[in-house]
Amino acid sequence: MQPMNQNKLFYLTRWKLAGCYSAAMGLVLSICALGLYQALVHAHWQTLDRELESVAGTLHDSVESVLKQPGRVEPTAQQLLPERKPQQHILGAIHQGDYFIKLLNTAGQTVTTAGFQPEGLPTTSGEITWQTVQDTKGNRYHQISLPLHTQDNRPWGYMQMGRSLNDVDNYLANVKLVLLLGLPLAMVLVGSASWWLAGFAMQPIYESYSQIQQFTADVAHELRTPLAAVAATVESVSGMPNLPESEARNILRTIERQNRRLTTLVADLLLLARIERQPIPIRRQICYLNDIVSDLVEELAALAIAAKVTISYEARVHQQIKVIGDEEQLYRLVSNIIVNAIQYTLTDGQVNIALNYSDRHGIIQVQDTGIGIAPLEQKRIFDRFYRVSSDRARHTGGSGLGLAIAQAIVQTHGGSLQVQSELGKGSTFIIQLPSIINQFSNLKLTKQ
């Protein structure tokens, strides 16, 4: 079978499937990466806000409780503010080196500062609670503004507390870098996986496509032979103005024989098509394997004699082996196996048929002394149009559909069909069908 990548149609289709899957996964991964980044940003801002709000609230309550005059910082309040050495102050527990504090009067002028003071940080209005500001070096700071009142509840001004965003910005920058570098790498992996998955998904379709191609070629070949024979016969007749009656009858028999071959081939193809589309409808009835096998041995005796092959039958049970199924299909099943054995058995060979019962199954064994089947070919003999020896099968009228039909029928009846063969020594086909026999003995009956 031609590899998939060597078939242009499937190769291009595989690329399209892999491309579409990669594009879809790329979009999904991009959205997920963006969502992850935004979630991290939101989580850090929430944590930062809670941190500032908690620390600033504690300090605000302490400072506000000792303020007496608007715009004036009492020594007691000054002592509560952090010094230049933050590690000695209560604020040292959390980002002690990054906090700054401003006290503004009601006019928005700075009264005093404490903590870390960035250079070039602009003075902003205290009326806005949350602000993000930037110094002259481009560093960002997040601050909160809280109103201050004196002890007698007069407006004093505002307290602003903020902290540097360098740690947060650096962390988010690293996350962004990882996402930007990881996304292309992930796309490479997704693309490779997409190519493999597309090939894996298309393999059954390609195998079916290849089987259809092979089937079309086989059907064309099988139909061409009888059609060519009929055409040759008609052409020869058209060039004979005075055709004797005996010659005309021979020609008609030739045409009739080829027509019968075509009819049989078409009927077999239709049967296989029905099997593949849906199971064969079975007329549920009790069938007796003893009668089916013995009748077929008698009917096919003439074919065996014409092929100079000895056929024998041995029934190893005297009880009737009953099978629930379609009697016509079971006749077809056993007939195909016996005819196949006769066709592939050389002159003066033997075909031995045995009927037995074991483990609630009726067993039919058809053993021949024919050409045998190589181990590699034993897996293919149930394929349509496959022949172990094409020349011999065509000489005997075989189309290569008999075993495929037999396999389909036995599977429909819940049984199995196996082959044991050795090249040059013959083959044994074993049919097993579920049986409803109640008792049996080892009495042997031989019919030859």
pLDDT of residue 96: 45
Bridge partners of 21, per DSSP, are: none
pLDDT of residue 434: 92
pLDDT in tens, 14-67: 889 989 989 999 899 999 999 999 999 999 999 999 989 998 999 999 988 888
* Amino acid found at 223: L
Element of type H or E holding 324: strand 322-325
Structural domain spans, the chain: 8-83+91-118+126-172, 196-275, 282-434
CATH architecture of 282-434: 2-Layer Sandwich (3.30)
Closest of 224, 283, 234 to residue 254, by C-alpha? 234
pLDDT in tens, 231-241: 877 777 776 77
Q: What share of the chain in percent tops pLDDT 90? A: 29
Mean pLDDT of 426-440: 79
Q: In what order do the strands lie in the sheet with 99-105?
A: 110-115, 99-105, 155-164, 140-149, 130-134
Domain 196-275 has CATH 3.30.70.120: no
DSSP string covering 6-51: GSHHHHHHHHHHHHHHHHHHHHHHHHHHHHHHHHHHHHHHHHHHHH
Closest of 433, 232, 398, 202 to residue 325, by C-alpha? 433
Distance CA 402, CA 222 (A): 14
pLDDT of residue 380: 77
Q: How far is CA 16 from CA 10, 12, 13, 171, in A?
A: 10, 6, 5, 39
Q: Which is it for the CA torsion 290, 293, 297, 300, positive or negative?
A: positive
- Which of the residue ranges 9-13, 105-109, 241-245, 393-397 would you say has the lowest mean pLDDT? 393-397
With a cut of 70, say whether residue 390 has pLDDT above it.
Answer: no
pLDDT of residue 11: 83
CATH superfamily of 8-83+91-118+126-172: PAS domain (3.30.450.20)
Closest of 161, 162, 158 to residue 105, by C-alpha? 158
- Which of the residue ranges 23-32, 186-195, 311-320, 374-383 would you say has the lowest mean pLDDT? 374-383
Number of other residues whose CB lies within 10 A of the CB of residue 321: 25
Higher-confidence residue of 220 and 86: namely: 220
Q: What share of the chain in percent tops pLDDT 70? A: 85
pLDDT of residue 437: 57
pLDDT of residue 2: 57
Of the pLDDT bands very low, low, confident and very high (cuts 50, 70, 90), residue 392 is very low
pLDDT of residue 84: 54
pLDDT in tens, 254-312: 788 778 777 877 877 777 777 666 555 566 788 999 999 999 999 999 999 998 999 99
- Name the pairing type of β-strands 350-358 and 310-315: parallel
pLDDT of residue 217: 73
pLDDT in tens, 88-136: 344 433 444 568 888 999 888 888 888 887 888 888 888 889 999 988 8
Q: In whole numbers, what is the pLDDT of the chain averaged over residues?
A: 82
Of the pLDDT bands very low, low, confident and very high (cuts 50, 70, 90), residue 394 is very low
Helix and strand tally (H, E) in the chain? 9, 13
With a cut of 90, say whether residue 362 has pLDDT above it.
Answer: yes
The two tokens of residue 367 are 């053993």
Please name the residue that has the structure tokens 């595989």: 14
Of the pLDDT bands very low, low, confident and very high (cuts 50, 70, 90), residue 78 is confident
pLDDT of residue 277: 65
pLDDT of residue 238: 73
pTM of the shown model = 0.51
pLDDT of residue 91: 41
pLDDT of residue 274: 72
- The separation between CA 395 and the C-alpha centre of its own chain, rounded to angstroms, equals 44
With a cut of 70, say whether residue 142 has pLDDT above it.
Answer: yes
User: 3-state class of 192 per DSSP?
Assistant: helix
Of the pLDDT bands very low, low, confident and very high (cuts 50, 70, 90), residue 429 is very high
With a cut of 80, say whether residue 400 has pLDDT above it.
Answer: no
